[in-house]
Amino acid sequence: MIRSVPVTTDLVPALSDLATASFRETFGHLYPPEDLAAFLAKSYTPEKLLAETSDPTQYWRMWFDGDHAIAYVHLGPVTLPHAEADRQRHGEIKRIYVLQSHQGQGLGRIALSHALDYLTGTYGDAPQWLGVWSGNTKAQGLYAKYGFERAGEYVFPVGQTMDDEFILKRVTTAETPRHSPRS
């Protein structure tokens, strides 16, 4: 049975394992081993994630299949390098990951809908932001169905490798559907 829970201190080791595994299986083939190792050591250690999950401005949620962590989201104030991004008023989807073993079952859409509900509840009708690797066309297609549009670009370092990323923006209104994608 799949269930979703907020990330608490006791779940940080499982979050660390999940974040490492999901990044490695999604993007690990793109990087030299030393760049991948440096990025994972910088980003997903239990100590780093404990500090991030303890920050009250950040929101984290995990999904489990039984006792096995399978997906997570990380949300918070926007930090993307875009002139219109307002850290005080706008929210960002920082990470959404689903293990490959559980992709294709609608969990990505569930996590995204949950994220959009949180951002709308926290930031009202302010723009919603996210960054996505320029080569991740599958994710870009999903985000487009929910009304995200390309608003810019930036470079994201993974070790010494510099990835080209797209900045996506979703403008919300009272009429913007939160749960269902646009056709």
pLDDT at 21 over 60: yes
Side-chain half-sphere CA neighbours of 7 within 13 A: 27
| Helix (H) or strand (E) segment spanning residue 162 | strand 161-170
Counts of helices then strands in the chain (DSSP H, E): 5, 7
H-only helix segments in the chain: 12-27, 33-43, 46-54, 107-123, 137-145
Classified as helix, coil or strand, 137 is helix
CA–CA distance, 62 with 43 (Å, rounded to integer) = 17
Note the pLDDT tens digit of each residue in 83-108. Answer: 999 999 999 999 999 999 999 999 99
Domain regions of the chain by residue span: 2-170
* C-alpha triplet 1, 118, 181: angle, nearest 5°: 75
d(CA 18, CA 123): 28
pLDDT band at 172 (very low <50, low <70, confident <90, very high): confident
Other beta carbons within 10 Å of 179? 12
Confidence at residue 182, expressed as pLDDT on a 0 to 100 scale:
46
pLDDT for 47 equals 97
Q: Say which CATH architecture domain 2-170 belongs to.
A: 3-Layer(aba) Sandwich (3.40)
pLDDT digits (tens, 9 = 90+) for 104-133: 999 999 999 999 999 999 999 999 999 999
